[in-house]
Amino acid sequence: MERFEGSFTQQEPISEDGIAAALAVLRHGRLHRYNTAGDEVAEAALLEEEFAAFTGARYCVAVASGGYALGCALRAVGLDRDEPVLSNAFTLAPVPGAIAAAGGRPVFVEITEDLVLDLADLEAKAKATGARLLLLSHMRGHVCDMDALMALCGRLGVTVIEDCAHTMGAEWRGVASGRHGVVGCFSTQTYKHMNSGEGGFCITDDEEVAARMVLLSGSYMLYGRHRAAPGPEVFQRIRLEVPNVSGRMDNLRAAVLRPQIGLLADRRDRWAALYRGMEAGLAGVPGLRLIPRPAEERFVGSSFQFLLPQWEEARIVAFLAACVARGVELKWFGAGDPVAFTSRYVHWRYAGAQSCPQTDRVLRGLVDMRLPLTFAPADVAQIARIIRAEALRIGQAEAVEAVAAPQVQ
């Protein structure tokens, strides 16, 4: 049997431009974003300006992590202590973690079999809780009908913050991800679409929200050194009422990131080729359901998901073990105990007991894998062959057992 020998966690190297820029920062030693010499413009300030231009946003704040970006956005829009905040029941731990850390109370909304927010459940829970905020997670790069969502939230009076950690460079009907809500939050953690180890962005068109995020990030009274920020008169109104919750981007990471903005379109196209190759390789496998991608969505396929909707737990465990034995690392969101990043809403006890039976049913059979750009199309084809073979083998064993089992009259 063939075995995959590649790594699911190996990223592409930092470009030579990024390395040279990082070395320049290391040589002059001014890593702190507000530590500049003469008329020098900090790398972090230039990064904000360039990322704002890439997304089409008026304002951008570069911060220490994607999780910090979420909490910063929640505070900037005026989250009150113990206020309910709606969010996907299927997301990663930093999303409810940001809500709780900022003083809010997560309220989990069901997802559909296509892994996106269930708008009917969103409406019901918004009305039941009186929530005025939605922290929308575009989990694993799957985007719901953003036109329908924004129309619904407009009717409900719900403010939307977008978690775009998995959708940097994606679009819905030509609108960049992060540009529908009042704030779009991004991550530049190693496994995201730009890599600085850790880091993130908040983008917005709202001048007061932007000013609040700059102050929250730890600008002290140096907000004038930001180039993708509102004018000083906006800061003057609020500068003494916004707390400093330091989470600044530093110049070293900014230097590494700046050249990567220009690579995002090419990366999106390359990820699309890998993703479509995986789809083709797994099409038609009995008992395995692929996730449809709407025509309105231009996605970034940096990870791949499929469902084993009718499989019992023992079958899924055996399937995962067989794939791992052949070098294919799959993650499962249906395990009783969280493994690595696969925790789910029932594990986040700080959020209180909540019930999302539809989400439970979906996650029970949800399998996930990374698609790093270090993979070639031939790698994806091999991975798909291994998954297909093991799914068929275990499925056939199940069919044989069913035939052999004594019939109960």
pLDDT in tens, 227-267: 999 999 999 999 999 999 999 999 999 999 999 999 999 99
pLDDT tens, 90-142?
Answer: 999 999 999 999 999 999 999 999 999 999 999 999 999 999 999 999 999 99
Name the band, by pLDDT with cuts 50, 70 and 90, for residue 223.
Answer: very high
The ranges of the chain annotated as CATH 3.40.640.10 are 16-261
Task: Sort 234 into a burial class: Cβ within 10 Å, 0-12 / 13-18 / 19+.
Answer: middle
**pTM exceeds 0.85:** yes
Separation of alpha carbons 122 and 153, rounded Å = 9
Q: What percentage of the chain reaches a pLDDT higher than 70? A: 97
**Largest Cα–Cα distance in the chain?**
89
Q: What percentage of the chain reaches a pLDDT higher than 90? A: 94
How much is the average pLDDT of 264-284?
98
Please state the φ and ψ torsions of residue 201, each to the nearest 5 degrees. -140, 150
Name the band, by pLDDT with cuts 50, 70 and 90, for residue 395.
Answer: confident
| pLDDT over 90 (residue 400) | no
Residue 269, C-beta contacts closer than 8 angstroms, at least 6 positions apart = none
3-state secondary structure (DSSP) of residue 217: coil
How much is the average pLDDT of 7-15?
96
pLDDT tens, 27-60?
Answer: 999 999 999 999 999 999 999 999 999 999 999 9
- Which of the following CATH numbers is that of domain 16-261: 3.40.980.10, 3.20.20.70, 3.40.640.10, 3.40.190.10? 3.40.640.10
Separation of alpha carbons 162 and 150, rounded Å = 11
User: In the CATH scheme, what architecture does the domain 264-401 have?
Assistant: Alpha-Beta Complex (3.90)
The ranges of the chain annotated as CATH 3.90.1150.10 are 264-401
Q: Which two tokens stand for residue 12?
A: 């592409």
Three-state SS string over 254-274 comes to: HHHHHHHHCCHHHHHHHHHHH
